[in-house]
Amino acid sequence: MLRQFIVFAAVAFNCFAARVELNWDVGYVFGIRDGFTYRRAIGVNGELPFPPVHVTQGDTLVINVHNSLDVPTSIHAHGLLNNGTNYYDGPDMVTQCGIPPGESFTYVLETKNQFGTFWIHGHTRHQEVDGLHTPLIIHSRKQPVVDYDEELIMTFEDWFTTEFAVRQAYIDSLEDIRTLTSNFPKALINGYDGNNTAPITFVPGKRYRLRVICMSINNWFKFRIPGHTMTLIEADGVESMPLEVDGLSMGPGQRYSVIVTAHDSDEFNYMYNVTSYSDALVSQGLTPMVYTGLINY
């Protein structure tokens, strides 16, 4: 009887699974992301930031990547295990050759055994630093450890005024690394200048799941919502027992899910705080840098 139930459950799980197929044209885009500097960056289908990817546990995610850059490229789904399929993992010259300019490659990513908060980023020539990244959300088919009404994504990035290749050439040209003049990055929140990103809207009494992703290359970020309590329920794609916290401290690549309950009254709005800092790039008092954003009731 138990064996029959297990077989039935497996069949039912597979019946609900879908094949989600995306076409990504990776190419150069131009714009001002930090509120100051117009520069070349890397986007998908002419967009930066480009849309998050949403699938449900058990789905097969297929991403057809065409390379419109003038150098090789590849992508990596950060946190996916790729058991038995490491040729889809993305690290250039480790598990695959980079996709040559003008060529295409198809990634087939299985999500049967994982769910939670992840992200996809470039894995060739540090192209993730220049914009090639986006959230990947794998929704669970089971009941969450804490019920909630709605979920929101928050992303943090460090953003430099020049492309990675330019900074790399400068560093390589130095005879004495101690003469390095660091180019401390600005911070982006949800893809835009940290102090000018769009407000978050809370409806009084509702419970929200915030999926917080640190998509930085160097900087750490601290995140707090004064006047609100966060309940941690997920870390790096793994569910956790609910734990109340005052805030989050996140290094590059880390992801958390927290539950935040909105106040019952809309009498006041609130501000959230994001602090970007780095011990590796100490530059004329520019670290830490503090940003604020509006929570609109």
Provide the pLDDT for residue 4: 45
In a 3-state reduction of DSSP, which class is residue 212?
strand
Distances in Å between the Cα of 154 and the Cα atoms of 65, 119, 188, 256, 287 are: 25, 12, 10, 10, 22
**Distance between alpha carbon 58 and the CA centroid of its chain, in Å?**
21
Distance between CA atoms of residues 204 and 202, nearest Å: 6
Distance between CA atoms of residues 262 and 157, nearest Å: 26
Q: Are strands 270-277 and 116-122 parallel, antiparallel or unpaired?
A: unpaired
In a 3-state reduction of DSSP, which class is residue 272?
strand
Provide the pLDDT for residue 170: 85
Answer yes or no: are the C-beta atoms of 212 and 223 closer than 8 Å.
yes
Q: What is the mean pLDDT of each run of 10 residues along the chain (297 residues)?
A: 44 72 98 93 98 97 98 97 93 93 98 96 96 98 92 96 90 77 83 91 97 95 95 96 96 97 95 88 68 95
82: left (phi over 0), alpha (psi -120 to 50) or beta: left
Distance between CA atoms of residues 31 and 101, nearest Å: 22
154 strand-pairing partners: 212
In angstroms and rounded to an integer, the radius of gyration of the C-alpha atoms of the chain is 21
Q: What count of residues does the chain have? A: 297
The first and second tokens of residue 61, run together, are 């995610």
Phi, psi of 75 (to 5 degrees): -130, 155
Phi, psi of 93 (to 5 degrees): 65, 15
Q: Which DSSP letter does residue 131 get?
A: T
Provide the pLDDT for residue 278: 83
Provide the pLDDT for residue 176: 77
